[in-house]
Structure 1
Amino acid sequence: MAHQFSLAHLSVLTTSPAEMVQIAAKTGYDFVSFRLTAVTTTEHVFALQNARALMNETKALLAATGVKVLDIELARMPAEIEPETYVPVLEAAAELGARHILAQLPDANRERATERFARLCDLALPYKLTVDLEYPSWTETPNLAAAAAVVRAVNRPNAGILVDTLHFDRARDSLEELRKLPAEWFHFAQVCDAPAEIPSTVEGLIHTARSERNFLGEGGIDVRSILDAMPAGIPYSLEIPTDTLALTVSAEERARRSIRAAEAYLDGLHGQRLKKSA
């Protein structure tokens, strides 16, 4: 099976979108996944929606290399942020030819969070974008069940769930429950490995997620089972920040190691699937 991979921005966070496209093309990725809004107050963000010259440069490189944009992040809606805030991001995503918008709902008011997610879906629909709900385990939407409740309640044709193998593992989600959910809810997955031991603090969970994930096959997450429970053929966004490695290894080389490890791991997964069906 030929897998399709995207280079996620968190893997090379200080690299510009234009540089990311060049790296993706050199190392064999089909897609890139851009972060156009900041998640923390300290991280640098390349806001293409506000940077016309960089937008034009990035689009030219996409056209020249054939690399596509898989998804744009992040429409994060805590209590103080309305979905309309992200209209410029939706416009930029459409201009780039992206397929999906990644969203988070760190809001304890579940009725408000659900209503805002529905509005974001409605805003994204004219741009032909799906809105895929991610559920970091330390947020107010902490697991697959909570994300599924939102998507089921909004009942929008472009609503989906983004499974990140790290968050799935840290939330102790159920493979059985994942298999039961509608296949059309899953448009792509974020994929990484990580140490088997789950940190006991929010700080520890966030540190692993944002700074020190593992390449596939180098950690203790049962990535194989998670992916086997999801629809076949969806693209995999390799979101694997490795801040310690970044001190000595270039962004291009880290991206290369990430995709080579994923190819080796998933070739083994495909072989196991063929055996099962024989």
Structure 2
Amino acid sequence: MEAEWKRQDASIAHGGYLLSLAYLTVPDVSPVVSVELAAAAGFDCVGLRLLPAIPGESIYPLISDRRLRNEVRAALSDTGVRIGDLELIRLGADSSPDDFAGFFECAQSLDARNVTVIGDDPDEGRLTANFAALCERAAPYGLNMNLEAIPWTALDRIESAARVVDNARQANAGILLDAFHFSRTGADFEVFGQIDPMRMHVFQICDAPLRFDAEPAAIRREARTRRLLPGDGELPLKKLLEHIPASALISVEVPNDQLILQFSPLSRAKQVMSATSRFLASCDARASAAKHPPGQP
């Protein structure tokens, strides 16, 4: 119980948002160690990967290895850390919701709520139907299915993700907004007028320079190996945060090969938390200044 209260106090200190240590920030450790790192660095939650993002990717077999899963459950209980989001379900043209039954069962056993979904079908009508069916299949497990728009996938823009979510008409359909992908696709802030804020379940935060190599392979390489700590780049993070409801989870995803080479996993987790805390504190200070200009009570 003491650990749980510590996690709650941490969220209060960050503007009321729950903060999650994303899988790709510390991809070089086991799921149990990920939970322990999240706790040591002061995160409320942790993100884990249950299915590979690319063919041949090596991940820990949480779905099939019940002993490992029980070890993760024990670590969550001991630390008070919760599961932030689970990765990832890739919906292709031939995908069926039944393909992910093991994923759903594992997610439920870990008391997870948010699952990241990638839309990799160029036929938006078929993708929408499959996504709706996926949401229906996941609902009994208490899971939100959150679409993430990624520049190198078929569902490459936040506008498209919002359209699929709306047309799916499922209560547990949501959006994961990634600050990096939003910037690199040239998305306009006007898109938020088309999105129900309560569908924004997860905000994935990092930083990056405004200028970038627009070649697709270069964008993918930057996304996977060169993201910056929040506040160390030029992305419009504060403006993005204005569109994120307090109910959303903030997942701090900073895959950076140089940080992996130079620092231990614990050091990285603490650096990420420190940078994110400074960023959120600066947002709170700006909001307070706007409400109470100098010379006014």
TM (norm. structure 1) is 0.96
- What is the CA distance between 1:265 and its match in structure 2? 0.9
Q: Name whichever of 188-197 and 253-262 sits farther off.
A: 188-197
Q: Residue 76 of structure 1 corresponds to which residue in structure 2?
A: 90
Mapped partners of 2:167, 2:247: distance in 1: 27
Determine which of 237, 249, 260 is the counterpart of 1:223.
Answer: 237
Where does 1:34-45 land on structure 2 (aligned, <5 Å)? 34-45=48-59
Match of 1:90 among 90, 104, 107: 104
Structure 1: how far apart are the matches of 2:110 and 2:19? 18
- 3-state SS, counterpart of residue 26 of structure 1: helix
CA contact (8 A) 1:4 1:235 kept: yes
SS in structure 1 at match of 2:235: coil
Q: Which is greater in Rg?
A: 2
Task: Give me the whole-angstrom Cα distance separating, in 2, the residues matched to 1:110 and 1:177.
Answer: 18
1:179 is displaced (CA, Å) by 4.3
* Partner Cα distance (1:273, 1:174) in 2: 23
Q: Shift of residue 176 of structure 1?
A: 2.4
RMSD: 1.3
Q: Is 102-111 or 72-81 further displaced after alignment? A: 72-81
221-230 or 146-155, larger mean C-alpha shift: 221-230
Distance 1:225 1:180 in 2: 17
1:249 aligns with 2:297: no
For residue 260 of structure 1, report the CA deviation from its aligned partner.
Answer: 0.3
> How do 1:1-278 and structure 2 match up within 5 A?
1-278=15-292
Q: Secondary structure at the match of 1:237?
A: strand
Given residue 87 of structure 2, which amino acid in structure 1 is its aligned partner? E
Task: Give unpaired runs (5+ residues) of structure 2.
Answer: 1-14, 293-297
Provide the aligned length of Structure 1 versus Structure 2.
278
Give TM-score, length-normalised by structure 2: 0.90
TM superposition shift of 1:25: 0.8
Q: Secondary structure at the match of 2:92?
A: coil
> In the aligned structure 2, how far is the partner of 1:144 from the partner of 1:254?
29
- What is the letter of the counterpart of residue 27 of structure 1? A
For residues 261 and 36 of structure 1, the distance between their equivalents in structure 2, rounded to whole angstroms, comes to 27
Show CA shifts across 1:231-273 (max 9, x none). Answer: 1342210011111221121111111101100000110011112
Q: C-alpha separation between the residues in 1 aligned to 2:69 and 2:47? A: 14
The Cα of 1:139 is off from its aligned counterpart by: 1.5
Give the drift of 1:112: 1.3
Q: Whole-Å Cα distance in 1 between the matches of residues 51 and 31 of structure 2?
A: 13
Which amino acid in the other structure matches residue 138 of structure 2?
A
The amino acid that maps onto 2:171 is: P
**2:197, 2:243 within 8 Å by CA — same for their partners in 1?**
no
Report deviation, 1:277. 3.2
- Whether contact under 8 Å (1:72, 1:101) holds in the other structure is yes
Shift of 1:42: 4.0
More deviation in 57-66 or 80-89?
Answer: 80-89
- Structure 1: 5+ residue stretches without partners: none
For residue 96 of structure 2, what is the amino acid of its counterpart?
A: E
Partners of 2:56 and 2:270 in 1: CA distance: 27
Secondary structure of the equivalent of 1:257?
A: helix
Q: Distance in 1 between matches of 2:156 and 2:261?
A: 32
Q: Read off the aligned partner of 2:111 and give its amino acid letter.
A: G
